[in-house]
Amino acid sequence: MSEIPVLCFPFAGAGASAFRRAQEYGSDTVRICPLQLPGREDRFDEPACTDAVAAVDDLLPVALDLLAGSSAVAVFGHSLGAVLAYEMAHRLRQLPGPELVRVFVSGSPGPWTRREIRATGMSDEDFLRQVRGFAGYTHPALEHPELREMLLPTLRADVEMHENYLAAPSRLLDVPITSIRGDQDELVSAEQAAEWSAATTAGCQLREVPGNHMYLVDSPAELVRLMDSELAPKATR
């Protein structure tokens, strides 16, 4: 059996380290491969991106390096990461290389649904209050004034990127999609998560896992087990 690399895109404001616990959970089927957007962690000194298409173009060379020698690949993204994963899937389908076997999108309505209530352009306090409402979660670092000052520009850029994104209506994938939501998610309904069925001609499954909108922070093992179950048949080919 060979591991299938899963290119992983985090939620707004987060970096590649958001997937560290998922990487530590043992799996013979999947290899968690987080991608690092500019403006955070080891790319902190680079300007954050506010355009999803440009962000994926920036990450593509690194993604292709991670896939060297692999025969299959999957992508995963949560919330903002879901639209980045969707864009990356389109890039991978246009290039020679590993077969894209599945797209995992998490905590997200379909790529043609824009958030009605926006946070871009708000004052710091109103912005953070709005983002807490969007996510049902806040990173502890944002409670510390000095750290918040450092982290806010990147979080603002990510939120702007997400709020401005709208997929082209004619761009459908021919790869199966698994849309994931926490069964207690009060921000993305089952109906919204199922909207991804319109984004592919190869079928879409809605899978629910225990937890709220940020289930992957509390229980990354649940996410890896789900990926295992979906990708195991591909890994044994």
SS3 of residue 177 by DSSP: strand
pTM: 0.89
What pLDDT score does 14 carry?
A: 87
Lowest mean pLDDT among 28-42, 43-57, 103-117, 217-231: 103-117
Question: CATH class for domain 4-235?
Answer: alpha beta
- pLDDT exceeds 60 at position 137: no
One DSSP character per residue, 182-218 reads: ETT-SSS-HHHHGGGGGGBSS-EEEEEESSSTTHHHH
Give me the residue spans of the domains in the chain. 4-235
Local confidence band at 143 (pLDDT 50, 70, 90 cut-offs): low
Q: In the predicted model, what is the mean pLDDT of the chain?
A: 87
In tens, the pLDDT along 69-97 reads 899 999 999 999 999 999 999 999 999 88
Tell me: pLDDT of 141 over 70: no
**By C-alpha distance, which of 183, 203, 179 is closest to 193?**
179
* pLDDT confidence tier of residue 12, bands split at 50, 70 and 90: confident
